[in-house]
Chains A and B, each alone.
Chain A
Amino acid sequence: ETGVTQTPRHLVMGMTNKKSLKCEQHLGHNAMYWYKQSAKKPLELMFVYSLEERVENNSVPSRFSPECPNSSHLFLHLHTLQPEDSALYLCASSHRTGDTYNSPLHFGNGTRLTVT
């Protein structure tokens, strides 16, 4: 298995459910990201982790909770979501050298989330 893998591919959850999205990268990168992609909107950066430390949180509601146990794994824990949170959630990874995040980003194939 190479690249960035995400599970599940599709998720339907009610507003009272708790679920988690999983991401794993096999590229030896030291930075991982969560992005949200909604219809007709640009990709929105949610969180950045570098060496398992959260270095950016883009004013994301607390109902989204990231976790990075090691440099290869990233989770997004979801609870009490709203219907407007329905979107494609993309994980990505890249190299970080010093304070510079280097392109390119390598994306996983995403989790299509529907909140009912």
Chain B
Amino acid sequence: RKEVEQDPGPFNVPEGATVAFNCTYSNSASQSFFWYRQDCRKEPKLLMSVYSSGNEDGRFTAQLNRASQYISLLIRDSKLSDSATYLCVVKGLGNEKLTFGTGTRLTIIP
């Protein structure tokens, strides 16, 4: 089983729709979780951290389910500018490295 697994997509979604994707992780001791966004031919950038209680940042909502070992990202009222690859990132305790998923590619269609 991969350490961090994501559906690679692509997800083609009409503008204004709501889209959600999940990410599963294999290490139950993982402590920190993040979503990064990578635009085409650009570097990854932190989108948001994922907290145990779930958190929201504008149109974006992140959830963590420790029992089932997955995190999710929900995007409401999607915009054309949301088109990107979304990378799930998991970190263990202390100085353990960040482990990246392969990313989920999202395209918002006008």
Which A positions have Cβ atoms within 8 angstroms of B?
Answer: 40-43, 45, 48, 55-56, 58, 90, 99-101, 103-105, 107-110
Q: A42-B4, A90-B43, A104-B46 are in contact. Are A48 and B97 (CB under 8 A)?
A: yes
Q: A41-B102, A42-B100, A43-B100 are in contact. Are A99 and B95 (CB under 8 A)?
A: yes
**In the complex, are the beta carbons of A104 and B42 less than 8 A apart?**
no
**In the complex, are the beta carbons of A103 and B4 less than 8 A apart?**
no
**Distance from B50 Cβ to chain A, minimum over Cβ atoms (Å):** 11
Whole-angstrom CA separation of A104 from B37 in the bound complex: 12
Whole-angstrom CA separation of A22 from B96 in the bound complex: 25
Within 8 A of A (CB), among B30-58: 32, 34, 42-46, 49
Q: How many chain B residues touch the partner (CB < 8 A)?
A: 22
Please indicate the chain B residues that have their CB under 8 angstroms from the CB of A105 in the complex. 44, 46, 98
Q: A99-B94, A99-B95, A100-B95 are in contact. Are A110 and B100 (CB under 8 A)?
A: no
Per-residue contact bits, chain B 1-18, to A (CB 8 Å; 1 contact, 0 not): 000100010000000000
Known: A48-B97, A99-B95. 13 other contacts (CB 8 A): A40-B8, A56-B97, A90-B44, A101-B95, A101-B98, A103-B32, A103-B46, A103-B89, A104-B34, A104-B46, A105-B98, A107-B44, A107-B45
